[in-house]
Structure 1
Amino acid sequence: MKDIISKWNQISLVKRIILGLIIGIILALLVPEQAQPITIFGALFVGALKAVAPVLVFFLVMAAISQHRSGHQTNMKSILILYLLGTFLAGLIAVVASFIFPVSLTLGAGAENLAPPGAVSEVLKNLLTSVVDNPVKALFNANYIGILAWACLFGFTLRDAKQSTKDMITNFSDSVSTIVKWVINFAPVGIMGLVFESISTNGIGVLSEYGRLLVLLLGCMVFVALVVNPIIVFVNIRRNPYPLVFKCLKDSGITAFFTRSSAANIPVNMQLCERLGLDKDTYSVSIPLGATINMAGAAVTISVLTLAAVNTLGIEVDIATAIILSVLSAVCACGASGVAGGSLLLIPVACSLFGIPNDVASQVIGVGFIIAVLQDSCETTLNSSTDVLFTATAEFAKRRKEGKAY
């Protein structure tokens, strides 16, 4: 048995995940009823990732800041600029694509029980109040803005603590990281359960009515991932960006596609940053921050679905308003929660720009949940993989300027 486990662990994680994918698809198509119990593996995997991620972020950020060496650059400013630029450009691409390929919706899907925010000011207010959330409550509710804020505060105040205290925090951080490695090692089995549940429960028939909308949404996300992001990376590192882009999509995007949660994918991204040889002081902060504000996929979703509602209602949109929508989509996307379907609840905020009432906007949310089986998975893939991509880009750009190898 030890030999079997050893040989299994020698296979790359991506190959093991692909094998789990294939098995899950085959079981869903051939024996959906008999294999139903394997869905528990998907639930356990996602649950474990979501459980360990807040604790990991808290201790990693706190340890990184407390141990930070004076004069050591972390590139956070560059990463933050890349996050905001990428999110805005994604929203702009979605707006342009919606003008070129306009789509309309068949409204009527219910979303009456949802409680979307009323305005951009409310989104920003929620972000600010999250910062001052009780630290225990923030950990319990996986409020990453609050977790980051408290971890930074503790980290800064512990800079003058005894080295033994700093070492203890680092030991806690290392132990949580080890637990994360154990959890990620079960990714193939977990994804097998997730893909089985997705195919056996939803199928693809429900998506046929909204085919054009899906093509537009996914086309925008693919364009951002394979054209816009590589251009941003090339401008910064001045070399072929695609090896890095494809590595991030492969190593981060596959798990993000099935967990459908940027927050749950934080441990996976931490592992990828470590394999890329990035600075731990930087990525221990930038990755959880990216899971909160780097939301290019969410900006695409908000822009496309809002303009689909606008086209359905026959509202005229000028260029100035379209640009404002791009900015608004980026702001709303930054306020989207890092959980499945988080961006959909912010569509009414963008719809309010055109005077679309909440009852109609809520029906648009309902349409979003119908197509979420693909839309949300691809959105999270773009969001989460870009967290690592831009973190690596900022560090490689710094090394290029310093004449170092990367």
Structure 2
Amino acid sequence: MNSLIQKWNRLSLVKRILVGLIVGIILALTMPETAKPVTIFGSLFVGALKAVAPMLVLFLVSSALSQHKSGHQTNMKSIIVLYLVGTFSAGLIGVLASFMFPVTLTLSGTEAGNLTPPGGVTEVLKGLLLNLVDNPVKALFNANYIGILSWAVLLGIALRNASDSTKTIIANVADALSTIVRWVINFAPLGIMGLVFESIATNGIQALLSYGQLIVLLVGAMLFVALVVNPIIVFLYIRQNPYPLVLRCLKDSGITAFFTRSSAANIPVNMSLCESLGLDKDTYSVSIPLGATINMAGAAVTISVLSLAAANTLGIKVDIPTAFILSVLSAISACGASGVAGGSLLLIPLACSLFGIPNDIAMQVVGVGFIVGVIQDSCETALNSSSDVLFTATAEFAKWRKEGRKIDIYDTKKTA
């Protein structure tokens, strides 16, 4: 038994996750009722990540800022620009893909219940800004990362004049939480097994077949962003082959995010990946939780594609200027998606209003989104979360390039 455990621990985390994935699929297809208790592993894994993430962000950011040395440059401006460019580009790709491969929907019987979408972009942005001044205890309780981040930044700046012993205590707590995160991540194979089993056993494949064309369009657009658009953006910054870094981020961050379907739950995973890539802790401790809130390329694709699918279904002709406005609207709305109950899907009525589509029909489109959400939300989260690390690393490597330091992205394989 000890020999088996040692061999298992020698495997990379990705290989262990693949084993959990395969076992989950086999159990779901062969014994869905008998193996039902394994779903608890998925719930425990996601629950543990979500539980530790708010405290990790608070203490890690506070510690990094309190011990920040004057004159030490961070890359936050570049990262925010990359986040915004990436999200807008994704919204534009969603629009272009919908023009090239138009799809229509069967809206009957897909009502979204009593969900209430935001009334406009100003409401989305207002909610995002109000989250900045949320009560700190409430922000921790509700996992409001914009609020947690704002309080962490203020505490970190205020603690710069604190005694060394106080700073050491905060740093020790941050290190302890990082250790807990590593423990939790080691249980990812069991968690993924439970999540995969639950997804297949509960939803099956049949429920998705009637929406196959829509799913292919959504997933295809997201893959294009992940494997073509993002690499182009990275290349323009670092002037080197971007794919080793892109694929590393998709493998170590995207796979976990795909199954947890939660950007918040993936914050600890992303911070661990940034550490293994040798990035500046002062930068990634802020950029990763911020990216989980405003870097929403997958959400921009979802909003664009489903809004244009609704327009196609109703026979509404969309001209080029309106399509461009939709790209901008999708990007702005996506940045506020995490602050709205229901995520990106509830922002679809806002985009549909651009074409004069009634709210009751738009909410039926939201219902379709929930049906395909098993795949759509997984791919969306994988793209969103992996891009957080990708753009943080890109800004860091671009800085190294300007300083004349050697950038060998292939070295990232050594820490895989």
User: What band does the TM-score fall into relative to the shorter chain?
Assistant: over 0.9
1:245-394 matches, within 5 Å, as: 245-337=246-338, 342-394=343-395
Aligned counterparts of 2:13 and 2:23: Cα–Cα separation in 1: 15
Aligned counterparts of 1:342 and 1:357: Cα–Cα separation in 2: 20
Partner in structure 2 of residue 14 of structure 1: 14
Partner in structure 1 of residue 411 of structure 2: none
Q: Is the 8 A contact 2:124 2:340 kept in 1?
A: no
Letter in 2 for 1:165: T
Aligned counterparts of 1:354 and 1:62: Cα–Cα separation in 2: 45
Alpha-carbon deviations, 1:154-203, whole Å to 9, x = none? 01111111111111110110011111111101000000000011111111
1:119-158 matches, within 5 Å, as: 119-158=120-159
Aligned counterparts of 1:294 and 1:5: Cα–Cα separation in 2: 38
Letter in 2 for 1:368: G
Letter in 2 for 1:52: V
Shift of 1:337: 1.1
Shift of 1:92: 0.4
- Tell me, what secondary structure is at the counterpart of 2:71? coil
Aligned counterparts of 2:13 and 2:114: Cα–Cα separation in 1: 40
Residue 221 (str. 1) matches residue 217 (str. 2) = no
Q: Which structure 2 segments of 5+ residues have no match?
A: 408-416
Shift of 1:4: 4.2
- Tell me, what secondary structure is at the counterpart of 1:80? helix
Aligned counterparts of 1:302 and 1:394: Cα–Cα separation in 2: 27
Aligned counterparts of 2:6 and 2:62: Cα–Cα separation in 1: 34
Letter in 2 for 1:71: G
Aligned counterparts of 2:294 and 2:41: Cα–Cα separation in 1: 30
Letter in 2 for 1:91: G
Aligned counterparts of 1:395 and 1:184: Cα–Cα separation in 2: 25
Q: Is the 8 A contact 2:340 2:346 kept in 1?
A: no
- Tell me, what secondary structure is at the counterpart of 2:343? coil
Shift of 1:313: 1.2
Letter in 2 for 1:208: L
Partner in structure 2 of residue 67 of structure 1: 67
Alpha-carbon deviations, 1:108-156, whole Å to 9, x = none? 2011211111100100010011000000000000000000000000011
Aligned counterparts of 1:104 and 1:338: Cα–Cα separation in 2: 29
Partner in structure 1 of residue 414 of structure 2: none
Q: Is the 8 A contact 1:299 1:329 kept in 2?
A: yes
Aligned counterparts of 1:343 and 1:62: Cα–Cα separation in 2: 30
Partner in structure 1 of residue 212 of structure 2: 211
User: Could you say what the CA RMSD is over the residues aligned between the two structures, in angstroms?
Assistant: 1.2
Aligned counterparts of 1:3 and 1:61: Cα–Cα separation in 2: 40
Aligned counterparts of 1:2 and 1:58: Cα–Cα separation in 2: 38
Q: Is the 8 A contact 1:260 1:339 kept in 2?
A: no
Aligned counterparts of 2:5 and 2:214: Cα–Cα separation in 1: 45
Q: Is the 8 A contact 2:133 2:147 kept in 1?
A: yes
Aligned counterparts of 1:341 and 1:8: Cα–Cα separation in 2: 38
Partner in structure 2 of residue 185 of structure 1: 186
Q: Which is worse superposed, 313-322 or 248-257?
A: 313-322
Q: Is the 8 A contact 1:28 1:197 kept in 2?
A: yes
Identical aligned residues as a percent: 77
Letter in 2 for 1:77: K
Partner in structure 2 of residue 30 of structure 1: 30
- Tell me, what secondary structure is at the counterpart of 2:337? coil
Aligned counterparts of 1:344 and 1:217: Cα–Cα separation in 2: 13
Q: Which is worse superposed, 103-112 or 298-307?
A: 103-112
Partner in structure 2 of residue 162 of structure 1: 163
Aligned counterparts of 1:2 and 1:138: Cα–Cα separation in 2: 43
Aligned counterparts of 1:340 and 1:391: Cα–Cα separation in 2: 27
Shift of 1:339: 9.5
Aligned counterparts of 2:322 and 2:381: Cα–Cα separation in 1: 27
Letter in 2 for 1:104: T
Residue 201 (str. 1) matches residue 202 (str. 2) = yes
Alpha-carbon deviations, 1:203-233, whole Å to 9, x = none? 1111111111111111100100000000001
Aligned counterparts of 2:355 and 2:208: Cα–Cα separation in 1: 27
Alpha-carbon deviations, 1:92-121, whole Å to 9, x = none? 011111111111111120112111111001
Alpha-carbon deviations, 1:34-88, whole Å to 9, x = none? 1000000000000001111111011111111111111111100000000000000
Partner in structure 2 of residue 79 of structure 1: 79
Point out 4+ residue stretches in structure 1 off by more than 4 angstroms: 1-4, 338-341
Letter in 2 for 1:60: L
Alpha-carbon deviations, 1:222-248, whole Å to 9, x = none? 100000000001111111100100000
Cα distance change on mapping 1:285 and 1:84 into 2, 3 Å: same
Aligned counterparts of 1:375 and 1:177: Cα–Cα separation in 2: 30
Alpha-carbon deviations, 1:284-325, whole Å to 9, x = none? 000000000000000000000000011111112111111110
